[in-house]
Structure 1
Amino acid sequence: MTAGEVIATGRRSRSTDGGVAYFVYANGHYPAAALTESVAFLQNRGLRIAGLIERNKEPSRHSHCDMELEDIATGRRISIAEDRGQAATACRLDLSGLALAYAAVKANFAAADLVVVSKFGKTEAEGGGLRGLVAEAMEAQVPVLVGLPERCLSAWMDFAGEYGRPLQLNGAALYRWLAA
């Protein structure tokens, strides 16, 4: 079932916004530290969080593009950047790594109080990546938090429609939203 189908059937999560919140950030400025702090705030209050936080490692001498996703539930880091060598001029997403990360979150989200989808980026805007994870969380009626680079806001609105609430990325705001 897609997010659109979940919305069309009228199924709701725990709040009037379809159980979906999102935070928007400036293109190229992923807020890993703020997301990590927000997740820790919720975990310190006993909430179970499943999901992913994007981590960018220092470039190695073999590659200038080392992106990983950290599984919040386990701390495991999964590489999502193809190693294209030092001569490469751009990064390319490793879809097999992304699929591993998706499966890791899916294995933990049934018992979660919140699912965090680190980014609704270009791949998700085109219908792939972690987009299905948002729909599956909605279908399972588990609240979901999604990160949005500014350039993908329009694609997000096309996907989510009127559902979803923009929130500031801080633990207290997320906690109040989850408690509503």
Structure 2
Amino acid sequence: MSAIATVSCPGRGDADLLLARFARRAIASGLRVCGTVQVNTERARAHACDMDIQVLPDGPILQISQALGAGSRGCRLDPAALETAVRAVSDRLNEADLLIINKFGKMEAEGRGFRAVMAEAVALGIPVLTGINGLNEPAFVQFAQGYAQALLPEIDALSDWLDVSGAPLPH
């Protein structure tokens, strides 16, 4: 059993959809889930890098990307909005059976974002599930120090991992 599990999907947004679906299933089964899932909200003048996350289980949807202008090329992540989400998740962590973080991203790779919350969850014995991409995988491997397991991007694989993690889904 690994304290942390990762999922990676080849299609853009597929990991977001998988994690959101799994979170709904876990919540519906009675597990106390906290964390975030990415939801893509339709809006006028949406940009491909626009990001919204929902704080689990029933928290707000927060826009964590910022409008930088039509010619911008830099990272659109709004660090202040992300920290708002981090605080909301941190406040709920002690009551959780499972922590889901939509992505171990650039901020986590740099030692910020949800990184400390993930470490605290592991210290508390709370299983952690997160999305990962190849760009941030080396930083994640260093962070996880051998305590992580890559899962197949399938609901059953996530459920099987959770069953042996100490927070099984009721059948």
| TM class by smaller structure | 0.7 to 0.9
* Shift, 1:91, TM fit: 4.3
What TM-score do you get using the length of structure 1 for normalisation? 0.80
Q: Which residue of the other structure, out of 54, 60, 71, is the alignment partner of 2:55?
A: 71
Partner of 1:42: 26
**C-alpha displacement of 1:30:** 4.7
Query: Which aligned pairs between 1:86-125 and structure 2 lie closer than 5 A?
Result: 86-125=70-109
* TM-score for both structures, normalised by structure 2: 0.83
- Which piece of structure 1 moves more, 20-29 or 137-146? 20-29
The CA distance in 2 between the partners of 1:170 and 1:131, in whole Å, is 24
Contact 1:114 1:143 in 2 (8 A): yes
**Stretch deviating more after TM superposition (40-49 or 25-34):** 25-34
Match of 1:130 in 2: 114
- Displacement of 1:55: 2.2
Residue-by-residue CA offset, 1:106-154 (whole Å, 9 max, x unaligned): 1212111100011111221121111111111112221110110122212
Is 1:142 paired with 2:126?
Answer: yes
Instruction: Give the match for residue 23 of structure 1.
Output: 7
Alignment check: 8 A CA contact 2:8 2:15 kept? no
In structure 1, the partner of 2:154 is 170
Aligned residues of 1:124 and 1:131 also touching (Cα < 8 A): yes
User: Could you tell me which amino acid in structure 2 is paired with residue 85 of structure 1?
Assistant: G
Question: One-letter code of the match for 2:156?
Answer: A
1:51 aligns with 2:35: yes
Structure 1 residue 60 displacement after superposition: 2.9
Query: 2-side partners of 1:149 and 1:157: how far apart?
Result: 12
Query: What is the percentage of aligned positions where both structures have the same residue?
Result: 33
**Gapped regions of structure 1 (runs ≥ 5):** 1-15
Q: Tell me the equivalent position of 2:169.
A: none
Partner of 1:159: 143
**Runs of 4+ off more than 6 Å:** none
For these two proteins, the number of residue pairs brought into alignment is 163
Task: State the 1:75 CA deviation.
Answer: 3.8
Once the two structures are superposed, what CA deviation does each residue of 1:66-115 show, in whole Å capped at 9, x if it has no partner? 31111121241111112223443454211110001001111212111100
RMSD of equivalent CA atoms: 2.1
- 1:113 maps to a residue whose letter is D
